[in-house]
Structure 1
Amino acid sequence: MPFVTDDPNMLDDWLVVGPASALAGRSQRQPYGTCLLGATLSLWAEADGTPQCRLGTQPLSVQSRHGYLWVCPSGRPARPLFEFPEYTEPGRRLVDCGGIGVAVSGLRVIENFLDMAHFPFVHADYLGKVPHTEVARYEVAIEPATGEIWATDCRFWQPRASAAHDSGADVRYTYRVMQPFSAMLYKSSLRPEARDAIGLFLQPLDDEHVIAHTVLAYFDDVSSDAELIAFQHTIFGQDKPILENHAFKRMPLEGRAETPTRGDTTSVTYRRWLRERGMRFGTRAAT
C-alpha cells in the first residue's frame, strides 16, 4: 500500500492537501507536489480549472472546496465533504493564513484547538489572563444528521480576542468538529449579531506530523490581511512548542495516561467519538 495507514477513517474521507491557489499556473508537466499519509502526490488543474491528482500513475479523487484541495485516498468517500456556509456568506473577509508544520499527531492539534482551559497560561494577554482561569459550564452534543461534534454556550474572558480587539471582553465560542482532522470555531465578532469563523484543516503527513491550514471567514473591516494572519500566527506559535513537547506524540484513546478535568468536556467527547469510529491513525495503544 502506498500510504502509511490502512485506517478507513483516513483512506475513506476527504483530506486537505493544500490551498486551491497552489494550482494556479500548474499543468501536468509542472504539477504541485505535496505529501499525504507518507505518499507524494502530484496535483494540477485542467484548462477549465478542474483539479487532478495522481499518486505515481494512479489517479486519485480530488475536489476544490472552501478554498482548499481535498483528496480521498481510496476513491470511495464514506461521506460528503462537510459544509462551510460561512465561506460564501456575503460580507465576510476570507483570509488564508497559510500552512504550518507541527511535529505531533493531528488528533493532538484538534484537541488543543478545542481546549479553553489553556488560554490564560499559553496565550496570556491574548486569549486569557490569570486570574480569569475558570472554564464555565457549556454543552456538548453530537449532531445526529451529520455525526459532527458541537460544543455550544462556551464563553471565556479574553484580553484580546482577535486582531481587531484592543480591550478585554467576555467572548462567546461555539466549537464544531467535522472530521478527525478538521474543526471550526465560531466566536464573537465586531458585529454583535454575528460570529466570526475559523477553520482548522490538518493535512496528515504521517502519524506524528501534520501541516495545519487555517482559514478565516471574518466580519472585520478594520484589520489588514497581514494583521489578521500575524495574530493567528502568534497564537499558533504559542501552541506549537507545547504540542511538540507532549510526552506522547500520538493520542492515547484508552487507559488513564491522561486525566481530564471538568473543562475538558469537549476533549472527552472527541476521544470517545474517535474510539467509536475505530480510529487508529495518530493514536497510541494503551499500556
Structure 2
Amino acid sequence: MLVTQQKVLRRFWYPVIPSDRLAGGPHPFTLLGTNLVLFRDAAGKAAALIDRCCHRTARLSKGWLDAGNVVCPYHGWTYAGDGKCVRIPQRPGGDPGKNIGVKAFRCTERYGVVWVALEEPLRDIPALPEYDDPAYRRVFEFYEPWQAPGLRIMENSFDNAHFAFVHKESFGIVDEPEPVQPRLEADPAGFTMYADVPVKNPVLQQANLGIASDRTVRHYEKTWWMPFSRKMKVTYPNGLVHIIMTLTAPIDDRRSQVIQFLLRSDSEADAPAENLIKFDRQVTHEDMAILEACDHDVPLSPTGELHMPTDRPGLEMRRMLARLLAEHGESEVRRDGSVPPMLASAAE
C-alpha cells in the first residue's frame, strides 16, 4: 500500500512534532507527501499551513515569525495561523486586500505533541488517561525519521515471533524461538492484544525493573490505533507498569516520523530516566535495523506475503485497513500488480 495514494488516510490525526520543539519556528514538515509549515500563531496556538507562498511559491518554512505570523522570505508576504495573508509590504500600508491566503490545516496539541489532520478526521486523537495520572511519570525518548512505513513499524510492534532473533541482545530468549500466541480484543479504532511473554532480563533491566533475576515475564496489553500508532502497556510481576507510546506520522510512502515517550509507575530515584532510555533505545535500534531493510510497499491482501499464526495482529491491521479503503470507495494502490519474486518462487 502506497500511503500517499490512499485519500482516506488524510482523514486521520497524525503526530508531527513534540510541542516544545515548536518554539523558534517556523518548522517544515512533510505529511503524506504534503509540505507543511508549522509555527505558533499570535495566540500561542500551534498552526499548520501549506508550505508555499501564494505569490511565487517560496517555502514559508524558510522565512521567520513576526508577532505570531509567518513571513515569506522572498517578498515578505505575511500569513496568520488561519492561512490568511495579513500583510503585503509592496502595497500601500501593507494592506493585503481580501481573499488572499494559503491553505490551513487542522492542528491541535495533546500529550505534549502537535497533531495535524489534512482533511476532516474520521476519529479523535486516541485517549491516553495515564498521561495526566499523577501515579505515572513521563519520560521523552526520541523524535526521529525512520526509513520504514508506519504499517511495518506497527506490525513489528505486535509481533511476538521476532523477539528471539531481532532482540537476542536485549530481551529475546534465543533458545526459545516458539512465540506466545496473542489474544486480540476488537475495537472500532483498532484492537488490543494481550500476551504473557517470558523475556531475558539483562543487568541494566534488572536495575530498571527492580527484579534481581536474569529472566522475567512481560504481561503485555498493546493497543493499535488505526492507522499507525500504538500504546504498549507492560506490567511486570512486581507490579511495575511501563507504558511506551509509539506515535508515527507518514512522511511519504517510504518514511515515517516517529515520536516515542513512556509513562512509568515508579520514580526517578527507582530508575533514572537515562537508563530507561538507554535500554529502550537499544531495542528500537534493533527493530530499525531490520525494518529499514524491508520492502516499504506492504500488501493489504493476505496473498501478498506468506504468513504464520503469530502474524495474526498484523493481518488484522491489513484487513481493517483494506476494509477502511473499501468503505470509502478506494482500492489499494501499490507499485505494480506483479507477484513478489519470493512468492513466485515458492509457488513454482
Aligned pairs for 1:1-287 (under 5 A) are: 5=4, 7-24=6-23, 26=24, 30-46=25-41, 48-55=43-50, 56=52, 57-74=102-119, 76-143=120-187, 146-152=188-194, 154-160=195-201, 162=205, 164-165=208-209, 167-189=214-236, 192=239, 195-221=241-267, 222-246=270-294, 248-278=295-325, 286=337, 287=339
**CA offsets per residue over residues 101-151 of structure 1, 9 Å max, x none?**
2212211111111111111111114221122222223311312xx432111
**Residue aligning to 2:72:** none
Distance 1:258 1:215, change over 3 A: same
Equivalent AA in structure 1 for residue 18 of structure 2: P
8 Å contact from structure 1 (residues 44, 53) kept in 2: yes
In terms of fraction of residues, the more strand-rich structure is: 1
In terms of fraction of residues, the more helix-rich structure is: 2
Q: CA deviation at 1:38?
A: 2.1
Taking structure 1 as the reference length, what is the TM-score of the superposition?
0.87
8 Å contact from structure 2 (residues 184, 313) kept in 1: yes
Residue aligned with 2:144, SS? strand
Q: How many residues align?
A: 274
Q: CA deviation at 1:157?
A: 0.9
Hey, what's the Cα distance between the residues in 2 that align with 1:281 and 1:10? 12
Residue aligned with 2:49, SS? strand
Hey, what's the Cα distance between the residues in 2 that align with 1:283 and 1:197? 34
Unpaired segments of 5 or more residues in structure 1? none
Equivalent AA in structure 1 for residue 196 of structure 2: R
Identity of aligned residues (%): 25
Hey, what's the Cα distance between the residues in 2 that align with 1:282 and 1:173? 33
Q: CA deviation at 1:155?
A: 1.4
Q: CA deviation at 1:48?
A: 4.4
Runs (4 or more) in structure 1 with deviation over 6 Å come to 279-282
Hey, what's the Cα distance between the residues in 2 that align with 1:216 and 1:283? 34
Hey, what's the Cα distance between the residues in 2 that align with 1:277 and 1:14? 16
Distance 1:171 1:40, change over 3 A: same
What do you get for the CA RMSD once the two structures are aligned?
2.3
Give the number of the structure whose alpha-carbon radius of gyration is greater.
Answer: 2
Distance 1:174 1:61, change over 3 A: same
